[in-house]
């Protein structure tokens, strides 16, 4: 622990604001999520104080905000210590916490648009000053899904820190408990029990690492080097069991058809580990234990795809019925990539690149998500983070094109936002064709040489049918600091 403290202490001296926000979370988590009954050391308190003193005002990453709140609760629950040095360090930390809170509130105040009525503006400002350090998304605040995702986040983070404080014997005991829980009959396992097993496995899971033969490619006697490397590492067998536990639990989750949103954060967490390796090193099957990692990746991709598309026929039927009742209303995302295979996932706040591949004569679908979360944690604004994630997704698509897995992007023809108007490339004409709910079919209303003529005609027909003339555009979810 002393080595870790000294390492983070040195990093804090030269870190910029983005790195300070990124590094402060694991440091504060030592206090927030340490084992029950553990008293933080004076050095830990001083290190967290140093980070908070160096962080300026502004929007904090959600993970750091959550951990700081948990740290404050943990410190308040501890009994007063007899050590005056410890009490002094704890008091200075609490003071730094309040100052950071004040700086964040002042930064939020600078972005508030003051209303004409001074009393209303003052009331709104006082309400803003009562919020926590992190400004939540307007669309997600208070919603059950946002609360559930936050709970997943904190549970996973708590388990990760508990694992870090365990010795080897305790780690084996913790892992054995999770394995025994997963061995229960598939039908007897509840969703909550299996979600707990999955979060435990994800918390224990080390990131994929380069294969020994890649690390020692220039050395002689590759087999001897690899064997020695693996035999000297006591965590190899533990990580093998962790990967096996994770894969087994994911398979049971899929077979039981549990709700993937309940483990959304766990899936994202593991997928980010895999994506980070593939971006830096190469395909995951080239990692140590590559076959196991590939199976984990494929299972996570399948679960994420299932989450994005409802499999319940009743749900599909209800969706279709609503669409027909509304006159085949199409909804378009505000954020568009401009490329095939790349779409914006509003609920997950990421760009998703999807493609199909053939295996044993069967076409299968897979996908990779490019979340904006890591760019937000680097200090980028929301729109800048969305653009950075999109560029990452586009670069990945180019790799798929070079590998022959997807086709080069097609040049899109002209389009219209008016319902029923489309451009026929063969005839070079604008077509007007709208759905008539009474007749349960599409009706052709003519071809036009200009876009304006076609849109005028389409609006006339839409008024007659009683449907909106313009397509509905689903706005992107933005945090309150991004909303004008």
Contacts (Cβ under 8 Å, ≥6 apart) of 103: 55, 56, 57
Query: What pLDDT, on a 0 to 100 scale, did the predictor assign at position 457?
Result: 92
Could you give the angle at the alpha carbon of 255 between the alpha carbons of 276 and 252, nearest 5°? 60
In the beta sheet, which residues pair with residue 331?
Answer: 472
Contacts (Cβ under 8 Å, ≥6 apart) of 264: 149, 152, 307, 348
CB atoms within 10 A of CB 337: 18
Q: Per-domain residue ranges for the chain?
A: 2-129, 144-211+229-308, 421-473
- The structure's pTM equals 0.48
Query: What pLDDT, on a 0 to 100 scale, did the predictor assign at position 222?
Result: 36
Contact (CB, 8 A) for 330 and 474: no
Contact (CB, 8 A) for 190 and 261: no
Among candidate residues 395, 374, 393, the one with its CA nearest the CA of residue 385: 374
CB atoms within 10 A of CB 386: 23
Sign of the CA dihedral with 119 first, then 120, 121, and 125 last: positive
- Phi (first) and psi of residue 372, to 5 degrees: -85, -5
Residue 227 Cα distances to 41, 61, 193, angstroms = 39, 42, 37
Q: How far is C-alpha 343 from the chain's CA centre?
A: 15
Question: How far is it, in rounded angstroms, from Cα 400 to Cα 406?
Answer: 6
Question: How far is it, in rounded angstroms, from Cα 390 to Cα 395?
Answer: 9
Torsion of CA 136, 139, 141, 145, to 10 degrees: -120
Query: What pLDDT, on a 0 to 100 scale, did the predictor assign at position 38?
Result: 80
**pLDDT tens, residue order, the chain (484 aa):** 677 788 888 888 888 888 888 888 888 888 887 777 788 888 889 998 998 898 887 777 777 887 888 888 888 888 888 888 988 998 999 998 888 888 877 665 444 333 333 333 333 333 333 333 333 333 333 444 445 555 666 677 777 777 776 778 888 888 888 888 888 887 788 888 898 899 889 888 988 988 765 454 444 443 443 333 344 445 568 899 999 999 999 999 888 888 888 888 888 888 888 888 887 887 888 888 888 998 898 888 888 776 554 444 444 444 444 344 444 445 555 677 778 888 888 777 889 898 887 777 677 778 888 988 888 888 888 888 889 999 999 999 999 888 888 888 776 667 787 888 888 877 888 999 888 877 777 888 999 999 999 999 999 988 888 888 776 555 555 544 444 4
């Amino acid at each position: 622990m002393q080595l870790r403290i000294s390492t983070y202490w040195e990093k804090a001296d030269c870190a910029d604001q983005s790195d300070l926000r990124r590094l402060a979370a694991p440091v504060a988590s030592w206090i927030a999520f340490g084992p029950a009954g553990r008293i933080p050391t004076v050095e830990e308190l001083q290190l967290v104080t140093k980070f908070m003193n160096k962080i300026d005002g502004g929007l904090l990453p959600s993970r750091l905000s959550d951990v700081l709140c948990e740290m404050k609760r943990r410190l308040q629950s501890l009994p007063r210590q007899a050590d005056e040095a410890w009490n002094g360090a704890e008091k200075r930390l609490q003071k730094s916490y309040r100052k950071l809170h004040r700086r964040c509130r002042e930064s939020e105040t600078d972005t508030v648009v003051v209303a004409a009525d001074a009393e209303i503006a003052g009331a709104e400002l006082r309400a803003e000053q009562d919020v926590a350090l992190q400004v939540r998304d307007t669309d997600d605040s208070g919603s059950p899904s946002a609360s559930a995702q936050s709970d997943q986040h904190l549970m996973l983070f708590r388990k990760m820190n508990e694992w870090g404080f365990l010795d080897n014997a305790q780690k084996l005991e913790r892992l054995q408990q999770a394995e025994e829980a997963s061995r229960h009959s598939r039908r007897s396992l509840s969703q909550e029990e299996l979600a707990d097993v999955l979060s435990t496995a994800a918390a224990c899971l080390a990131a994929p690492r380069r294969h020994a033969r890649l690390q020692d490619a220039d050395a002689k006697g590759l087999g001897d080097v690899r064997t020695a490397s693996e035999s000297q590492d006591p965590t190899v067998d533990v990580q093998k069991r962790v990967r096996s536990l994770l894969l087994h639990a994911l398979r049971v989750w899929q077979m039981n058809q549990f709700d993937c949103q309940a483990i959304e954060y766990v899936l994202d967490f593991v997928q980010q580990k895999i994506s980070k390796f593939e971006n830096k090193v190469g395909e995951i099957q080239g990692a140590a234990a590559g076959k196991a990692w590939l199976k984990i990746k494929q299972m996570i991709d399948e679960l994420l795809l299932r989450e994005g598309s409802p499999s319940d026929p009743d749900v599909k039927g209800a969706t279709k019925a609503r669409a027909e009742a509304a006159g085949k209303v199409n909804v378009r995302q505000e954020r568009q990539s401009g490329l095939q295979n790349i779409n914006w996932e509003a609920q997950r706040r990421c760009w998703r690149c999807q493609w199909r591949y053939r295996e044993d004569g069967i076409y299968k679908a897979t996908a990779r998500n490019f979340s904006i979360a890591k760019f937000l944690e680097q200090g980028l604004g929301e729109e800048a983070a969305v653009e950075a994630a999109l560029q990452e997704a586009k670069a990945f698509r180019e790799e798929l094109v070079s590998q022959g897995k997807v086709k080069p992007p097609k040049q899109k023809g002209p389009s219209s936002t008016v319902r029923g108007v489309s451009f026929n490339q063969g005839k070079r004409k604008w077509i007007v064709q709208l759905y008539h709910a009474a007749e349960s079919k599409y009706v052709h209303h003519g071809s036009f040489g200009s876009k304006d003529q076609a849109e005028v005609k389409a609006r006339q027909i839409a008024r007659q049918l009683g449907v909106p003339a313009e397509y509905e555009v689903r706005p992107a979810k933005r945090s309150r600091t991004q909303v004008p």
